[in-house]
Amino acid sequence: MAEEKCVIHDVPALSDVFVMEDLLNELGVRTKWNKRAKTIAINSSNIDNIAAPYELARKMRASFLVTGPLLAKVGKVKMPLPGGCQIGARPVDLHIKGFMAMGAKVKSEHGYVAAYARRLKGANIYLDFPSVGATENIMMAAARASGQTIIENCAAEPEIVDLSNFLNSLGADIRGAGTDTIKINGVKRLGGGSYTIIPDRIEAGTLMVAAAITKGDVIIENIVIDHLKPMIAKLKEAGVNVSEVKNGIRVHPGESGKLIPIDVKTMPYPGFPTDMQAQFMSLLTLAEGTSVVTETVFENRFMHVGELKRMGADIKIDSRSAVVEGVNILSGAQVKATDLRAGAAVLLTALAADGETEISDIYHIDRGYYRFDEKLRSLGANIRRVKG
């Protein structure tokens, strides 16, 4: 959306980031990586294509997030319906509803969404569900629309606040990010700039569970503690010690060393994140008693259950809830990563299981965790990659 070069810092070299970079390059955006510095420079002053290729868009759902910026900057876009992890329907109807409210003409056919608007106009938009993707897409489109846009019942995740701060640093006028109502006064132009993104709260949460499930004593640095409150609260409820230290957060066993069964229910932020549901289920397979994990965000996010059961877990699914009976011992087995967070869950379970576990389809894990095996090895895990 910017008219000048942007430099973004602390960008992890994830496969999803590479896919997004390839997609932007297809649209005419010039990018330059400095992987050692974890920095990427982006110049989008000469966009010459408004149609994204299906081969790239099918790889990740976030590909659809170029729709709002293209519509705002160029006035037209043709995007394939997105792909990504198969954890539920996750339709883009809320995105389209927002674009149409701002005056865009939208047509959906043959697996593509085509949209046109000479210039988007500000509008009042109420989201039927506080979708993160829809909030981001509409907010970006509205940043360069004519007049004021108000998004109600929007997502309040830290990533929404970070995006708002980034856009404002480029010259946008956005207020209210982090609440359920965001007000955007459109501007004609966004400049360039330099920005450092926030730490990944889900990777931090996954490392916290890794420490808890192995009864380790780990300090995790470069975090924002406020972003981790739901995970911290549930770990403490499960009998794990979590404390703030000088450079981060420390996770170590409670006095008894035993895990207490708890109930977990996923909710939009500031509730417990759906992206941590699978990892916590892994932890609860070793709790002494019965836990209930309820998924309210995505209807098909228990794909990891079958893999955990192969390792000795006692889990029964009842609609959108999973009843987890803690067991004394988990055993290594051949399992696969069925999606990104499911992959993290089987990896965590393998850390605590007796014997060797072989995990296939680890490309899912690489989508969202940078050199995760190396980080776990640095903490003492016996883990290695093998070429299959």
Sign (positive/negative) of CA torsion 37, 38, 43, 49? positive
Please write down the HEC assignment for all residues of the chain.
CCCCCEEEECCCCCHHHHHHHHHHHHCCCEEEEECCCCEEEEECCCCCCCECCHHHHCCCHHHHHHHHHHHHHCCEEEEECCCCCCCCCCCCHHHHHHHHHCCCEEEEECCEEEEECCCCECCEEECCCCCHHHHHHHHHHHHCCECEEEEECCCCCHHHHHHHHHHHHCCCEEECECECEEEEECCCCCCCEEEECCCCHHHHHHHHHHHHHCCCCEEEECCCHHHHHHHHHHHHHCCEEEEEECCEEEEEECCCCCCCCCEEEECCCCCECHHHHHHHHHHHCCCCCEEEEECCCCCCCCCCHHHHHHCCCEEEEECCEEEEECCCCCECCEEECCCHHHHHHHHHHHHHCECCCEEECCHHHHCCCCCHHHHHHHCCCCCCCCCC
d(CA 286, CA 304): 16
Quick check: is 85 catalytic?
Answer: yes
Given the residues 19, 85, 174, 190, select the one marked as catalytic. 85
Q: Which residues are catalytic, by number?
A: 85
